Every structure is written in C-alpha cells, then in structure tokens.
Amino acid sequence: MTGIPSPTDVLFNTLHWLGVPFLIFAPLMFALQIAEWVKTGQHLGVGLRVVGETAAMLARRRPVRLVMFALLQSLLVALVYSGFTLAHAMGVSDAAGRNIADGSSFTWTQLWMTVTTYSTTAKLPYQASLGVMGWLIALNIAHVARSRLLIRILTLLVNLLATLAVIAGILIGLVGLMVLCLATWMHSPGYNVGMVSLYAAWVVILWGGAAVLLECVSKAEQIYNQDAQSQALQ
C-alpha cells in the first residue's frame, strides 16, 4: 500500500468535504469502484499476456546478452552496497578513537575488505542495496509491460544522479591528489600514502556506479525494444 489516493477517492472525499450527503453519491461511488476493478482486471490480463509473450521471446534469444544484463544489474547493486559500506566504515573508530575520516592509518587490504565484505552491523548499506534492487525490478517490469510512463518516472533522475556522482568523483579525486602530494613530496607528518587509497576507492565507486547506472538503463531499452520489434515483425 502506497497511501496515494486514487482519482475516485479524491472526488468523493471532496464531495464529502463539501457536505454532499453520502446517499446521494453512494450509487455513483459503487459503480465507479466496480468499473475500476473491471478495468484493473483487464489491465492485469493484458499485462500477463504481454509478460508471457516477452518471456517467450527472451527465452528464444541468445542467453549471453541476458546473462550480461543480469550481471550488469548485480554490479550496480554491489557498487551501491560498497559505497554505503565504505561511508559507514569511515565513521567507525579504532582502538585509539580515530576513524578513517580522521586520518586513521589503514592498509589496502583493510580497505578492500571493507568494500567487499558483507557487514552485519551496518543497516544503511543493506537498505540501500534493497532499494536499488527494487528499482531494477520495477524497471524490468515496466519494460516488460511496455509502460512508457512508468519507465520515464523510474528513469527521471538517472542522468542527474550520474552527473552528481561524476562531479563528486572529480572533487574527491582532486582532494586525493592533494593528499598524495602532502604524503610524498611535501612529507607532511599527518598524511600517508595509504590514505590516498580511500579517495581512489571513492572515485572508482562513484564513477563506476554512474557508468553502470546509465548502462543498465540503456541496455534495458535495447533488449526490450528489440524484443518488441521482433514480436511486431512476427
């Protein structure tokens, strides 16, 4: 349940708010509700037929492209999970009370384990990955049902998110270069080369996430549109 009222609910709530007696619009409300159920049933029947036709068409296609598309979506979920896990790990303090964000020393191995290991204590990465999986499932269903409106809604912010990720990656990369200069050429005692790996990891996650996100949307359009065209030719 989303809690979003239907047009019929809005209409009758407005009539009730205006003081129109319930018995006056009750027959109309009853008829419209039946019509909505009938219309929903018709849409469901059409949707099931389209899903069946698309599934049959996909089954006849070479499985390599479908496997690659599935792997691409899995990579997006993994990158989102890694990003949120890294953000969580940056706030976890060590025995000395310092965390990564404060300049705590760490190794490449520790960083790699942080972004690739499932965390049992961080809830936000888990919730974020579930959100991405839900979005991907909805995107696939929208393409299978050939609902252009739903596709537009689901992809409305994709370009904006990808652009923000690229910009953030550039800014973090510049800061990483400054840290590298401080740790090497300027020999600043508060910086070490290992800290640069943190900034490099963020750049990879942000740029990789942006690229994979755009590629998921593009591949979905290509795969499902080609299937629709093949069905039309048949």
Per residue in 53-105, pLDDT (tens digit) is 666 665 555 576 778 888 999 999 999 998 998 888 777 666 666 666 555 55
Classify residue 168 by its DSSP letter: H
Rounded Cα distance between 211 and 79, Å, is: 11
Amino acid identity at 223 = I
Band (pLDDT 50/70/90 cuts) for residue 174 is very high
Pull the structure tokens for residue 211.
């690229």
Cα separations in angstroms, 189 against 99, 102, 197, 200: 17, 14, 17, 21
Reduced to 3 states (helix: H, G, I; strand: E, B; else coil), residue 119 is coil
- Farthest-apart Cα atoms in the chain, separation: 83
Q: Based on C-alpha coordinates, what's the Rg of the chain?
A: 25
What is the mean predicted confidence (pLDDT) over 4-12?
Answer: 64
pLDDT of residue 168: 95
CA dihedral over 153, 158, 164, 165, signed as positive or negative: positive
pLDDT of residue 166: 96
Residue 124 has pLDDT above 90, yes or no: no
pLDDT of residue 218: 93
Rounded Cα distance between 221 and 234, Å, is: 20
What is the mean predicted confidence (pLDDT) over 14-22?
Answer: 67
pLDDT of residue 173: 92
Percentage above 90 pLDDT, the chain? 25
What is the mean predicted confidence (pLDDT) over 38-58?
Answer: 70
Residue with the bigger pLDDT between 153 and 225: it is 153
What is the mean predicted confidence (pLDDT) over 124-139?
Answer: 90
Band (pLDDT 50/70/90 cuts) for residue 164 is very high
pLDDT of residue 233: 46
Q: Give the number of other CB atoms < 10 A from CB of residue 19.
A: 6
Band (pLDDT 50/70/90 cuts) for residue 1 is very low
Task: Report the mean per-residue pLDDT for the chain.
Answer: 77
| 182-217 residue pLDDT tens | 877 777 776 667 778 888 889 999 999 999 999 999
pLDDT of residue 162: 96
pLDDT of residue 79: 94
